[in-house]
Structure 1
Amino acid sequence: MENLVLAFAIIGALGIGAQWLAWRFNLPAIVLMALAGIIAGPVLNIFAAPDAVPGTPPMEALFGEFYRPIIAVAVAVILFEGGLQLNFSELRGLTRGVRRLVFPGVPIAWFLAAAAGYLIAGLTWQAALLFGGIMVVTGPTVIIPLLRQSKLNPRPATLLKWEGIINDPLGALLAVLVYEFLMLGDHGGTSVDIVSSLILGSALALGFGFAFGRFTATTFRRGWAPEYLKPPILLALVLICFELANLIQEEGGLLSVTAMGVTLANSRIASINDLRLFKENITIVLVSGVFIILTANLTMESVRSLDWSAFWFLVVMLLVVRPLTVFLSTIGAGLPWKERLLVGWIAPRGIVAVAVSSFFGASLTAAGYLDGDKLIALAFAMVFATVVLHGFTISPLAKALGLASRERPGVLIVGASPFSAALAAKLKEMEVPVTVADASWRRLRPVRLANVPTYYGEILSEVTEHHVDLNRFGYLLALGGNEAHNALVATDLAPEMGRSSIYQVNARGKDEEDRKALSYTLQGRTFLHSGVALDELVRRHYSGWIFQRTKLSEEYPPEQYKKDLGAESEIILIIRKGEILFASQEVPLKPDIGDTVLAYIPKPTEQKPDKAKDKAEKAKAEKPKADAQSTETGPAKA
C-alpha cells in the first residue's frame, strides 16, 4: 500500500470498530484490536508496500522514518494521561494492601520478571531487566472494564484498580531508567559515571516535567487561556515537553511527560476533570490506532520466534511471578487469603506494555541488541494470554470465592425526597439493589426509616469513590430538587456510567421557551415519559399515589394492561429478562408479554355503600327464586 491517507483510514476504522464491537458485546477491546491488526497485517498483508526491502516489517516500510516518532508520541501521550490520574490526595485514604502492591510489590515483580526473562525466555540480562520493568505494568485501560464486568467487592476492586493506575507509569519509568543505563554503558563510562549521569539526567527530566506542569497549572488557574483552548494547549505543551526533554537526555521525554501529568493531577485546577476527559478521548484514539499499527507490524518470522521457551515464560509469569509477588508484598497487610488469591491471579497487561515494549525493542535493536525484536513478540504474547485468561476467568473465580456481587446491576438515586424514598423502598421490595445518596441527613430520614441503604455525603466529592463503588450500579436517577445539581451529577458521572444510563427529573415544569432552563446537552435522559416535575411527583405522593407492580402474560396482555392503567398513571420502569428499562421522554417504553411493569398510579377510589341500590339489587335477585318455588309447588297443590 502506498496511499498513506487510505492506510490511516483503514487503521482508524479497524481500531474504533474493534472498540465499538467490544462495547457492544461486552468483550475485551484489546483482544479484538489485536485480532484486527493481525488479520490486516501478518495474515492478509494489506499494508505491505510493493517496493519494501525484504524482511522489513510492513508498517515500518509503509511509514518509513515516521514510524518510530508516531509510536513515541503515542506512548508519551498515554504516559501523560496515566500520570494525570495519579492524585496523591486520593492515595491517602487507600488501604495498606494498595501501598504494599506498589512498594515492595514493584521491586519484587521487577526482579522476578527479569529473572524469568533471563532464565526461561532466553533473553540477555540487559533485555531481561528492561522487559521485567515493563511487565510491572497492569494496565488500567484493561483492568477497569474487567472490574465493571465482574462486579467485584469494593476492597479487591480497589486493590486492582489503584495498582493499575499507579504502576502504569512506574513500569514505563523503570524501562526508561534501564534503557538509559544501557545506552550510557555502551559509551564506555565507568559504573560511577553511569550511575551519576543516570541520576542527574533523571533528575533533570523530572524537574523539567515538574516545571512544565507548574507552568501549565498557573496558566490555566490565572485565566491566561480560554476554556475552549485549554485542551489543545495542553496537548501542544505535552509534545513540547516531550521533545525538549529528549534533547536534554535521550528518551528522557517519557520521564518528563509522566512527571508533568502527575504535577497537573496534584495542582488545584478547576477544569482538571474536563482536561482528563479530553486526554482520555485522545488516548482512546491513539490506543486504537497505535495498537493496530503495532499488531499489523508483526511478521510471521516474529510470531514463529515464540517457541516453547516463550510458552514456559508465560506459564511462570502467570502462575509463579504474579502470585508470589502478591503473596510476599501483602504479608501483614491484613488481607484475607481469598482476596490475595484473586489479586494474585488477575494482572492483565494492556496497551502501555505493548507500546513501550515496541518502542524500546526497536531502540535496542537499533543499538545492536539482538533481543529487541523478541521483546515485541513476548509483549504481545503476554497481553494475549493475560487479557484472554483473566478476562474470561475473573467473574467465575470471584463468584466462586464469594468476592463478587451476585445481584443484578443496582440503582443509585441522588437526591432524597418523599417520592424518591417511596420509589427506593419499592425497588428494594422488588429485590433491585438500590442506594439513595444525599448531602442532607434530614432529607435521608424517610429513606433510613424504610431500611434502604443510604450514602450521606456529596456524590460529586473527590472522596466519594472511596465510599461508593459505582461499579455496583448500572443506573443513576438524579431526583434532587436542584435542577442545576442534577445536571452537574449527570455530566460528571456520564463518563463513568454512560449518559444512556442516567436519568434526571425536572425540578420544575418543562418549557422549551424558558430562558432559565438548562441546556439539554448538560442533562441526562428525562425521567418518565411525561417529563413531569419533581414538585408534581411529591404532590402526588402526598395525595396518595402508589406504586403498582404488574406481571404481563398472555392471559393479561399489554393492550389490556394499558387500557386498565388509565391516562393519568405513569410507567416507571420495565424489568425485561433481568434488565431494567426506565421510562424517559427520549426512549418511550413498550411493555411486552413477560415483562414486569412498575407504574405510579393514583390512589384507588373507595366507593361509598348505596343502601337503596343494594336493597333493589337484592330484591331483584330474590324474585326469580320466589317464582321458581311457586312453579315447583303449583302442580302439587293441584
Structure 2
Amino acid sequence: MSEHAMLSLSFILLAGMLCQWIAWRVKFPAIIFLLAAGIVAGPVTQWLNPDELFGDLLFPFVSLAVAVILFEGSLTLKIQDIPGLERVIRNLITIGAFITWMITALATRTLLDFSWSVSFLFGAIMVVTGPTVIMPLLRTVRPKENVASTLQWEGILIDPLGAILAVLVFEFIVSGGVEGGFAASLLIFGKMILIGILIGAAGGLLFGFLLKKYLIPHYLHNISALALVCVVFAVSNVLEPESGLLSVTIMGIWLANSKGLELDDILDFKESLSILLISMLFIILAARMNISEFIDLGWPALAVFAVIQFVIRPLSVHLCALGSKLTMNERHLLSWIAPRGIVAAAISALFSIRLEYLGYQDAAQMVPLTFLVIIGTVLLQSMTAGPLARFLKVAEPENEGFLILGANRVAQVIAEELKKNNIQTLLTDQNWSAVTEAKLKGLAAYWGNPVSEHAERNMDLMGIGNLLAMSPHVELNALAAQYYRLEFAPANIFTIRNSQPNSGASEAKAAFRYSGRILFGDSITYQDLEQLLQQGAEMKTILLTDEFTFEDYLEQQGTARVSLFAIDTNAAVHVFTAQPDFTPKAGWKIMALAAKKMIVPSSESE
C-alpha cells in the first residue's frame, strides 16, 4: 500500500511536469493536458484513486493549495495598475456575479429539472472563475493590459466572494428556507467578511512589519510567507468556515500595495509553487470524475453549459463595462474568457455530499455538472482565446524582440540588420550621443540605466523577450544579465565576451560567470566585432537553399565572417552561442558580420 501511494504521488508530480513541458513546447494551455492526464489516470485506467490516496486529507490539501495560489495571485494586484478599470472590476464581482448566479440557477432548473435549492447553489458555484485557470490562460493568450488586468483582478477577487456566496446559499437551504434563512445567512455573511478582512489585514501587516524591520533572514522569506499564509487561512477558517480564501486574498493585496517591501523573490517562489500546485490539483480532481455520471446528465447539461458560455458571460460583461474605457474588441474578448477551475470543483464536491445527506437527491448530479462546465470552458476557451485575441487585435505581440544593452557602433549595426528582417529591437545606453545617433538611424533607443527604477517604469518592453548584453563594460553586462533573468528567463539572456578571462582578471571571470549564454561563440569578443567593422566588414543576411546548405556555409566560414543569428522559416530568431541548440536548414537565413572580400552565394540578400 505504501509503495503504491509513493508511486501515485510521484506519478502526479511527474505527470504535472510533463504536461507543463508539453504545453510549453506546443504553445498550448497546460490545463488541457493536465485534465487529460487526470482522466486517463483516474476513470479510464483506474490507476489513480485520489480519495483512497489522500483519505480525509484530500479536501484540506485542496483548500490549502487554493489558498497558496490565491495568495500568489493577489501579490500581483497593485491598485496603480488598473487606472480607469476600477468600476468595471467592481461591477463584474457584484452585478456580474448576480447575473451569473440568477440566470444559471434558472437555466439549471428549467433544463435539468433540479430543485430550486440545488439550482441556486449551483448558480452560486458558477460565479467562481479563479486564478487556477485564469493565470495559465493569460500566459498563453497574452491579451493587452486592460483585458489582462481586468481578468486577473476579477479572477482573484471572485474566488473568495463566490465561495462566500455558495456558503450563504447552502446555509439558507439548511436553515429552513425563507423564515430562518435570511437572518442566518445575513449573520454568516457579516462574520465571514469581517473575519476575512481583519485576519487578512493582520497577516499582511505582521509579515510586512517583519520584512521591513529585517527580522526574518532573506533565506527564510519564502518559507515564512508560505507558513504564514497557511496559518492565516487555517485560523480564519476556524473562526468562520470558508472565510480563509478572503483572508489570504486580503493579505496578498495588502502586501502588494505596501511601500518599501521587496517581494520579487517571494513572488518568484510562489509562482513556481503555484505551477506545481495547479498541476497537482487538476490531475487529482480530474481523476475523481465518474464518466458514467456525465453520460447520465445527457444533452440538457450541454445546453446549460452553452447558456453559461454564450449567453450569461457576454451579457454580464457588456452590462458591467458600460461607460468604461474598454474598447468593444476588448469587451468581446472578456465576454469569451471565464473558465471555471479548482474552487468550483472543490465547493461542488463538498456541498453535494452535505446536501445528499440532507435528502437532496439531485445534489449528486451537481459534481459532474460542475466538471462538465469546467472541462467545457477550459477546453473551448483555451483552444480559441488566443486566435480570437489575435483576430480582435487585442493580443500582445510575441516576446521575440531583443533588448540590446549598449548603443555603440556594434550594437547599432546588429540592431539595423535585425530591424531589416522585421525583428523588434530596443537599444539602451547611458551615453546620450550614442542614443541620439541610434534614434537618428530610426532605431528604438532608451537613454538611461537599464537596471534603474526609472527604466522599470518608462522603458517599454512590449514584444521584447531577449537580452543582448553588448556593452564594452563587463560588470554592467553581468548586472543587466542578473536583473533581466526573471523578466526574460535565463535561456534568453545573452552576453558577449569583452576579453578572455585569465588568472589575473578574477573580477572579470566572476562577473562573466553570471552573465548568461555566450554570444556568437567562445572565441568572439566585443573587440573582435568592433575591429571587423573598422576594417570595413558589413552585415549580410544569407539564405540557405538545397544547393547552398548550412554545411556549405560552414566550409566557407573563416575568421572574416562571424555568424550572429539564424532566422527559421517561421520567422523565429535563433542566436548563435558557444553551444548552439539548433541546426539551420534550407529556407533559413543566416545573419553574419562578414568582410567585403568574403565570397557569398547568389542567394544572399543584403
> TM-score interval w.r.t. the shorter chain?
0.7 to 0.9
Per-residue deviation at 1:310? Answer: 2.0
Distance 1:352 1:450, change over 3 A: farther
Distance 1:507 1:80, change over 3 A: farther
Q: Any idea what the Cα deviations from partners look like across 1:577-634, whole Å, max 9, x if unmatched?
A: 23311111232765544331111234659xxxxxxxxxxxxxxxxxxxxxxxxxxxxx
User: Which is further off, 318-327 or 357-366?
Assistant: 357-366
Query: 2:602 maps to what in 1?
Result: none
Distance 1:509 1:549 in 2: 28
- Out of 577, 585, 588, the position equivalent to 1:595 is 588
Query: 2:226 maps to what in 1?
Result: 235
Distance 1:76 1:524, change over 3 A: same
Query: 1:500 maps to what in 2?
Result: 491
Query: 1:202 maps to what in 2?
Result: 193
- Out of 79, 99, 112, the position equivalent to 2:86 is 99
Distance 1:437 1:337 in 2: 36
Per-residue deviation at 1:447? Answer: 2.0
Is 2:429–2:447's contact at 8 Å kept on the other side of the alignment?
yes
Distance 1:467 1:102, change over 3 A: farther
Q: Say yes or no: does 1:90 pair with 2:81.
A: yes
Unaligned runs of 5+ in 2: 599-606
Is 2:519–2:578's contact at 8 Å kept on the other side of the alignment?
yes
- Out of 547, 568, 581, the position equivalent to 2:574 is 581
SS in 2 for 1:530: coil
Q: How does 1:455-470 map to 2 (within 5 A)?
A: 455=446
Query: 2:138 maps to what in 1?
Result: 144
Q: Any idea what the Cα deviations from partners look like across 1:512-533, whole Å, max 9, x if unmatched?
A: 7743244667432122213644
- Residue identity in the other structure for 2:588: D
Is 1:143–1:161's contact at 8 Å kept on the other side of the alignment?
no
Is 2:338–2:377's contact at 8 Å kept on the other side of the alignment?
yes
Distance 2:460 2:373 in 1: 30
Distance 1:147 1:454, change over 3 A: farther
- Residue identity in the other structure for 1:601: A
Is 1:551–1:595's contact at 8 Å kept on the other side of the alignment?
yes
User: Which is further off, 468-477 or 103-112?
Assistant: 468-477
Distance 1:160 1:338, change over 3 A: closer
Query: 1:430 maps to what in 2?
Result: 421
Q: How does 1:603-614 map to 2 (within 5 A)?
A: 604=597
Distance 1:378 1:519, change over 3 A: farther
Is 1:510–1:533's contact at 8 Å kept on the other side of the alignment?
no
- Residue identity in the other structure for 1:38: I
Bigger radius of gyration among the two: 1
Query: 2:437 maps to what in 1?
Result: 446
Q: Say yes or no: does 1:226 pair with 2:227.
A: no
User: Which is further off, 6-15 or 108-117?
Assistant: 108-117
Distance 2:426 2:498 in 1: 21
SS in 2 for 1:103: helix
Per-residue deviation at 1:255? Answer: 1.6
Distance 2:140 2:262 in 1: 28
Per-residue deviation at 1:409? Answer: 3.6
Is 2:127–2:162's contact at 8 Å kept on the other side of the alignment?
yes
Query: 1:310 maps to what in 2?
Result: 301
Distance 1:538 1:352 in 2: 58
Distance 1:479 1:360 in 2: 59
Per-residue deviation at 1:393? Answer: 2.5
Per-residue deviation at 1:263? Answer: 1.8
Is 2:467–2:494's contact at 8 Å kept on the other side of the alignment?
yes
- Residue identity in the other structure for 1:102: I
Q: How does 1:531-610 map to 2 (within 5 A)?
A: 532-534=524-526, 537-538=529-530, 540-578=532-570, 579-587=572-580, 591-602=584-595, 604=597
Q: How does 1:202-601 map to 2 (within 5 A)?
A: 202-268=193-259, 271-355=262-346, 357-358=348-349, 373-403=364-394, 409-438=400-429, 442-455=433-446, 472-481=463-472, 483-506=474-497, 509-511=500-502, 514-516=505-507, 517-518=509-510, 522-530=514-522, 532-534=524-526, 537-538=529-530, 540-578=532-570, 579-587=572-580, 591-601=584-594
Query: 1:165 maps to what in 2?
Result: 152
SS in 2 for 1:195: helix
Per-residue deviation at 1:102? Answer: 0.7
Distance 1:598 1:254 in 2: 53
Distance 1:102 1:135 in 2: 14
Per-residue deviation at 1:238? Answer: 1.3
SS in 2 for 1:133: coil
Query: 2:126 maps to what in 1?
Result: 132
Distance 1:543 1:352, change over 3 A: farther
Per-residue deviation at 1:294? Answer: 0.4
Is 1:415–1:478's contact at 8 Å kept on the other side of the alignment?
yes
Distance 1:447 1:496, change over 3 A: same
Say what the alpha-carbon RMSD is for the aligned residues: 3.3
- Residue identity in the other structure for 2:232: C
Distance 2:373 2:258 in 1: 36
Per-residue deviation at 1:74? Answer: 1.0
Q: How does 1:14-163 map to 2 (within 5 A)?
A: 14-47=15-48, 58-92=49-83, 96=84, 98-122=85-109, 124-135=118-129, 139-148=133-142, 157-163=144-150
- Residue identity in the other structure for 1:33: L
Per-residue deviation at 1:315? Answer: 1.1
- Residue identity in the other structure for 1:281: S
User: Which is further off, 230-239 or 524-533?
Assistant: 524-533
Q: Any idea what the Cα deviations from partners look like across 1:140-199, whole Å, max 9, x if unmatched?
A: 323223224xxxxxxx52133212321222121212322443465445767456424532
SS in 2 for 1:550: strand
Distance 1:287 1:110 in 2: 24
Distance 1:59 1:30, change over 3 A: same
Distance 2:366 2:472 in 1: 57
Distance 1:335 1:535, change over 3 A: same
Per-residue deviation at 1:9? Answer: 1.3
SS in 1 for 2:74: helix
Is 2:38–2:284's contact at 8 Å kept on the other side of the alignment?
yes
- Residue identity in the other structure for 2:541: R
- Residue identity in the other structure for 2:22: L
Is 2:96–2:320's contact at 8 Å kept on the other side of the alignment?
no
Distance 1:270 1:431 in 2: 40
Is 1:526–1:585's contact at 8 Å kept on the other side of the alignment?
yes
Distance 1:368 1:242, change over 3 A: farther
Distance 2:78 2:293 in 1: 39
Is 2:294–2:372's contact at 8 Å kept on the other side of the alignment?
no
Distance 1:146 1:364, change over 3 A: farther
Distance 1:452 1:271, change over 3 A: same
Distance 1:128 1:596 in 2: 56
Is 1:127–1:371's contact at 8 Å kept on the other side of the alignment?
no
Q: Any idea what the Cα deviations from partners look like across 1:279-306, whole Å, max 9, x if unmatched?
A: 1111111111111110101123432353
Distance 2:498 2:186 in 1: 64
Per-residue deviation at 1:565? Answer: 3.4
Distance 1:141 1:431, change over 3 A: same
SS in 1 for 2:144: helix
Distance 1:594 1:570, change over 3 A: same
User: Which is further off, 12-21 or 502-511?
Assistant: 502-511
Is 2:403–2:426's contact at 8 Å kept on the other side of the alignment?
yes
Is 1:241–1:257's contact at 8 Å kept on the other side of the alignment?
yes
- Residue identity in the other structure for 1:163: T
Distance 2:77 2:327 in 1: 27
Per-residue deviation at 1:546? Answer: 2.2
Distance 1:262 1:273, change over 3 A: same
Is 2:568–2:589's contact at 8 Å kept on the other side of the alignment?
yes
User: Which is further off, 376-385 or 135-144?
Assistant: 135-144
Is 2:520–2:577's contact at 8 Å kept on the other side of the alignment?
yes
Q: Percent identity?
A: 29
SS in 2 for 1:121: helix
Paired positions, count: 584
- Residue identity in the other structure for 1:25: V
Distance 1:195 1:506, change over 3 A: farther
Query: 1:634 maps to what in 2?
Result: none
